[in-house]
Amino acid sequence: MTTRATALRALACLDLTDLSDSTSQEETTRLIARGQTAFGPVAAICIWPAFVSGASQRLRGSKIRLATVINFPSGGEDIERAVEDTREALRDGADEIDLVMPWRALLRGDPALPRAMIEAVAQCLPSGHRLKVIIESGELSDPAYIDAASRIAIEAGAHFIKTSTGKTPVSATPAAARVMLKAIKDMGKPVGFKASGGIRTLADAQVYLDIADEIMGPDWATPDTFRFGASGLLDALLAALTEDGA
Protein backbone atom coordinates (compact mmCIF):
# COMPACT_ATOMS: atom_id res chain seq x y z
CA MET A 1 0.00 0.00 0.00
CA THR A 2 1.33 3.45 -0.89
CA THR A 3 1.99 6.15 1.67
CA ARG A 4 -0.97 8.12 0.35
CA ALA A 5 -3.32 5.15 0.56
CA THR A 6 -2.25 4.40 4.12
CA ALA A 7 -2.68 8.02 5.17
CA LEU A 8 -6.15 8.22 3.62
CA ARG A 9 -7.14 4.96 5.26
CA ALA A 10 -5.95 6.15 8.67
CA LEU A 11 -7.61 9.55 8.31
CA ALA A 12 -10.99 7.96 7.55
CA CYS A 13 -10.64 5.85 10.72
CA LEU A 14 -9.59 8.71 13.00
CA ASP A 15 -11.47 9.72 16.14
CA LEU A 16 -10.03 13.23 16.40
CA THR A 17 -9.78 13.78 20.13
CA ASP A 18 -9.53 16.64 22.58
CA LEU A 19 -9.74 15.48 26.18
CA SER A 20 -7.28 17.99 27.56
CA ASP A 21 -8.07 19.57 30.91
CA SER A 22 -7.82 23.08 29.47
CA THR A 23 -10.10 22.68 26.46
CA SER A 24 -13.16 24.85 25.79
CA GLN A 25 -16.20 25.12 23.56
CA GLU A 26 -14.15 27.30 21.22
CA GLU A 27 -11.49 24.59 20.99
CA THR A 28 -14.22 22.06 20.22
CA THR A 29 -15.45 24.26 17.38
CA ARG A 30 -11.91 24.37 15.99
CA LEU A 31 -11.64 20.60 16.38
CA ILE A 32 -14.76 20.10 14.27
CA ALA A 33 -13.36 22.36 11.57
CA ARG A 34 -10.05 20.48 11.58
CA GLY A 35 -11.87 17.19 11.15
CA GLN A 36 -13.45 18.31 7.87
CA THR A 37 -10.28 18.06 5.82
CA ALA A 38 -9.57 18.56 2.15
CA PHE A 39 -8.97 14.80 1.96
CA GLY A 40 -12.27 13.84 3.53
CA PRO A 41 -13.74 13.88 7.03
CA VAL A 42 -12.44 12.02 10.04
CA ALA A 43 -14.67 9.26 11.43
CA ALA A 44 -15.57 11.11 14.63
CA ILE A 45 -14.56 13.72 17.11
CA CYS A 46 -14.20 12.63 20.74
CA ILE A 47 -14.74 15.29 23.41
CA TRP A 48 -15.74 15.82 27.02
CA PRO A 49 -19.49 15.45 27.77
CA ALA A 50 -19.78 19.13 28.70
CA PHE A 51 -19.21 20.12 25.06
CA VAL A 52 -21.44 17.53 23.36
CA SER A 53 -24.57 19.66 23.07
CA GLY A 54 -22.82 22.51 21.26
CA ALA A 55 -20.84 20.14 19.07
CA SER A 56 -23.99 18.26 18.10
CA GLN A 57 -25.50 21.44 16.70
CA ARG A 58 -22.35 22.25 14.73
CA LEU A 59 -22.11 18.72 13.32
CA ARG A 60 -25.69 18.63 12.07
CA GLY A 61 -25.64 17.39 8.49
CA SER A 62 -22.01 16.28 8.74
CA LYS A 63 -20.73 12.74 8.22
CA ILE A 64 -18.53 13.10 11.31
CA ARG A 65 -19.86 11.17 14.30
CA LEU A 66 -19.83 12.61 17.81
CA ALA A 67 -18.19 10.58 20.58
CA THR A 68 -17.84 11.35 24.25
CA VAL A 69 -16.34 9.68 27.31
CA ILE A 70 -18.06 8.16 30.33
CA ASN A 71 -16.47 7.00 33.61
CA PHE A 72 -13.35 8.71 32.28
CA PRO A 73 -10.52 8.51 32.98
CA SER A 74 -10.77 6.90 36.43
CA GLY A 75 -12.65 3.74 35.54
CA GLY A 76 -14.76 4.02 38.68
CA GLU A 77 -17.29 1.46 39.83
CA ASP A 78 -20.53 3.45 40.11
CA ILE A 79 -22.82 1.79 37.58
CA GLU A 80 -25.77 4.11 38.23
CA ARG A 81 -23.60 7.17 37.62
CA ALA A 82 -22.25 5.71 34.37
CA VAL A 83 -25.79 5.04 33.16
CA GLU A 84 -27.03 8.51 34.11
CA ASP A 85 -24.06 10.18 32.41
CA THR A 86 -24.60 8.07 29.29
CA ARG A 87 -28.26 9.00 29.08
CA GLU A 88 -27.41 12.68 29.42
CA ALA A 89 -24.75 12.44 26.69
CA LEU A 90 -27.23 10.73 24.38
CA ARG A 91 -29.83 13.43 25.04
CA ASP A 92 -27.20 16.04 24.18
CA GLY A 93 -26.56 14.37 20.83
CA ALA A 94 -23.70 11.89 21.26
CA ASP A 95 -23.52 9.12 18.65
CA GLU A 96 -20.81 7.09 20.35
CA ILE A 97 -19.98 6.41 23.99
CA ASP A 98 -16.40 5.62 25.03
CA LEU A 99 -16.84 3.94 28.41
CA VAL A 100 -13.95 3.16 30.74
CA MET A 101 -14.34 -0.34 32.13
CA PRO A 102 -13.89 -0.57 35.91
CA TRP A 103 -10.71 -2.51 35.28
CA ARG A 104 -9.49 -2.59 38.90
CA ALA A 105 -12.37 -4.92 39.72
CA LEU A 106 -11.03 -7.39 37.19
CA LEU A 107 -7.58 -7.28 38.79
CA ARG A 108 -9.02 -8.15 42.18
CA GLY A 109 -10.95 -11.08 40.76
CA ASP A 110 -14.39 -9.52 40.25
CA PRO A 111 -15.35 -9.78 36.56
CA ALA A 112 -19.05 -9.43 37.37
CA LEU A 113 -18.85 -5.70 38.11
CA PRO A 114 -17.31 -4.60 34.78
CA ARG A 115 -19.68 -6.90 32.95
CA ALA A 116 -22.66 -5.37 34.75
CA MET A 117 -21.57 -1.80 33.99
CA ILE A 118 -21.02 -2.50 30.29
CA GLU A 119 -24.35 -4.30 29.99
CA ALA A 120 -26.19 -1.46 31.74
CA VAL A 121 -24.66 1.21 29.51
CA ALA A 122 -25.12 -0.87 26.35
CA GLN A 123 -28.84 -1.15 27.09
CA CYS A 124 -29.12 2.67 27.01
CA LEU A 125 -27.92 3.01 23.44
CA PRO A 126 -30.48 3.36 20.62
CA SER A 127 -29.94 1.59 17.33
CA GLY A 128 -27.16 3.14 15.28
CA HIS A 129 -25.22 4.33 18.31
CA ARG A 130 -21.97 2.70 19.35
CA LEU A 131 -20.40 1.69 22.63
CA LYS A 132 -16.61 1.65 22.74
CA VAL A 133 -15.30 0.02 25.91
CA ILE A 134 -11.90 1.19 27.13
CA ILE A 135 -10.17 -1.71 28.88
CA GLU A 136 -7.08 0.35 29.93
CA SER A 137 -4.68 -2.27 28.58
CA GLY A 138 -1.57 -0.50 29.88
CA GLU A 139 -2.78 -0.86 33.46
CA LEU A 140 -3.94 -4.45 33.00
CA SER A 141 -0.50 -5.19 31.54
CA ASP A 142 -0.67 -9.00 31.62
CA PRO A 143 -1.93 -10.45 28.30
CA ALA A 144 -4.24 -12.77 30.21
CA TYR A 145 -6.00 -9.80 31.82
CA ILE A 146 -6.14 -7.94 28.49
CA ASP A 147 -7.73 -10.98 26.87
CA ALA A 148 -10.20 -11.43 29.73
CA ALA A 149 -11.20 -7.75 29.68
CA SER A 150 -11.68 -7.87 25.90
CA ARG A 151 -13.91 -10.92 26.10
CA ILE A 152 -15.99 -9.50 28.94
CA ALA A 153 -16.56 -6.29 26.97
CA ILE A 154 -17.50 -8.18 23.81
CA GLU A 155 -19.90 -10.50 25.64
CA ALA A 156 -21.49 -7.57 27.50
CA GLY A 157 -22.41 -5.64 24.36
CA ALA A 158 -19.46 -3.50 23.26
CA HIS A 159 -19.44 -2.44 19.62
CA PHE A 160 -15.71 -1.63 19.88
CA ILE A 161 -13.01 -2.49 22.37
CA LYS A 162 -10.50 0.28 22.94
CA THR A 163 -7.00 0.09 24.37
CA SER A 164 -6.65 3.11 26.60
CA THR A 165 -7.73 6.45 27.98
CA GLY A 166 -4.39 7.97 26.99
CA LYS A 167 -4.11 9.22 30.59
CA THR A 168 -1.87 6.43 31.94
CA PRO A 169 1.90 5.88 31.63
CA VAL A 170 1.35 3.08 29.07
CA SER A 171 -1.35 3.52 26.44
CA ALA A 172 -1.80 1.59 23.19
CA THR A 173 0.85 -0.99 22.36
CA PRO A 174 1.12 -3.37 19.41
CA ALA A 175 1.26 -6.30 21.85
CA ALA A 176 -2.06 -5.32 23.44
CA ALA A 177 -3.60 -4.73 20.01
CA ARG A 178 -2.71 -8.28 19.01
CA VAL A 179 -4.37 -9.75 22.08
CA MET A 180 -7.50 -7.66 21.62
CA LEU A 181 -7.85 -8.34 17.90
CA LYS A 182 -7.37 -12.07 18.46
CA ALA A 183 -10.14 -11.96 21.07
CA ILE A 184 -12.44 -10.26 18.54
CA LYS A 185 -11.64 -12.89 15.95
CA ASP A 186 -12.07 -15.76 18.39
CA MET A 187 -15.44 -14.47 19.64
CA GLY A 188 -16.81 -14.22 16.09
CA LYS A 189 -18.94 -11.15 16.82
CA PRO A 190 -19.09 -7.94 14.73
CA VAL A 191 -16.97 -5.91 17.14
CA GLY A 192 -14.43 -3.25 16.20
CA PHE A 193 -11.08 -2.19 17.64
CA LYS A 194 -9.80 1.23 18.66
CA ALA A 195 -6.15 2.02 19.35
CA SER A 196 -5.80 5.09 21.53
CA GLY A 197 -2.93 6.90 23.21
CA GLY A 198 0.53 7.65 21.90
CA ILE A 199 -0.26 7.24 18.19
CA ARG A 200 1.25 10.33 16.59
CA THR A 201 2.83 9.43 13.25
CA LEU A 202 1.91 7.71 10.01
CA ALA A 203 4.40 4.98 10.92
CA ASP A 204 2.60 4.46 14.24
CA ALA A 205 -0.72 4.15 12.44
CA GLN A 206 0.75 1.75 9.90
CA VAL A 207 1.80 -0.63 12.67
CA TYR A 208 -1.76 -1.03 13.93
CA LEU A 209 -3.29 -1.28 10.47
CA ASP A 210 -0.78 -4.00 9.60
CA ILE A 211 -1.70 -5.97 12.73
CA ALA A 212 -5.40 -5.68 11.90
CA ASP A 213 -4.77 -6.79 8.33
CA GLU A 214 -2.76 -9.76 9.53
CA ILE A 215 -5.26 -10.99 12.12
CA MET A 216 -8.61 -9.92 10.70
CA GLY A 217 -7.92 -9.79 6.96
CA PRO A 218 -6.96 -6.97 4.57
CA ASP A 219 -10.51 -5.68 4.03
CA TRP A 220 -11.60 -5.63 7.67
CA ALA A 221 -10.25 -2.31 8.97
CA THR A 222 -12.72 0.39 7.96
CA PRO A 223 -14.31 3.24 9.96
CA ASP A 224 -17.08 0.81 10.97
CA THR A 225 -14.60 -1.62 12.54
CA PHE A 226 -11.37 0.23 13.28
CA ARG A 227 -10.52 3.56 14.89
CA PHE A 228 -7.54 5.56 16.04
CA GLY A 229 -8.07 7.79 19.05
CA ALA A 230 -5.58 10.64 18.74
CA SER A 231 -5.10 14.38 18.82
CA GLY A 232 -1.80 14.84 17.01
CA LEU A 233 -2.10 12.13 14.35
CA LEU A 234 -4.21 14.26 12.01
CA ASP A 235 -1.39 16.75 11.41
CA ALA A 236 0.99 13.92 10.51
CA LEU A 237 -1.51 12.40 8.10
CA LEU A 238 -2.24 15.72 6.43
CA ALA A 239 1.49 16.41 6.09
CA ALA A 240 2.00 13.04 4.41
CA LEU A 241 -0.91 13.61 2.04
CA THR A 242 0.22 17.13 1.17
CA GLU A 243 3.76 15.99 0.49
CA ASP A 244 2.54 13.08 -1.58
CA GLY A 245 0.37 15.35 -3.67
CA ALA A 246 3.04 17.99 -4.15
What are the E-state strand segments in the chain? 14-18, 36-37, 40-41, 44-47, 65-70, 96-100, 130-134, 160-162, 192-196, 226-230
Q: Which amino acid is at 155?
A: E
Catalytic residue of the set 15, 92, 95, 162 = 162
Active site residue 162: yes
Active site residue 235: no
Catalytic residue of the set 18, 85, 95, 194 = 194
Number of Cβ within a 10 Å radius of residue 123: 11
Q: How far apart are CA 224 and CA 18, in angstroms?
A: 21
Catalytic residue of the set 95, 98, 147, 204 = 98
Active site residue 182: no
194, 229 contact by CB (below 8 A):
yes
Active site residues: 98, 162, 194
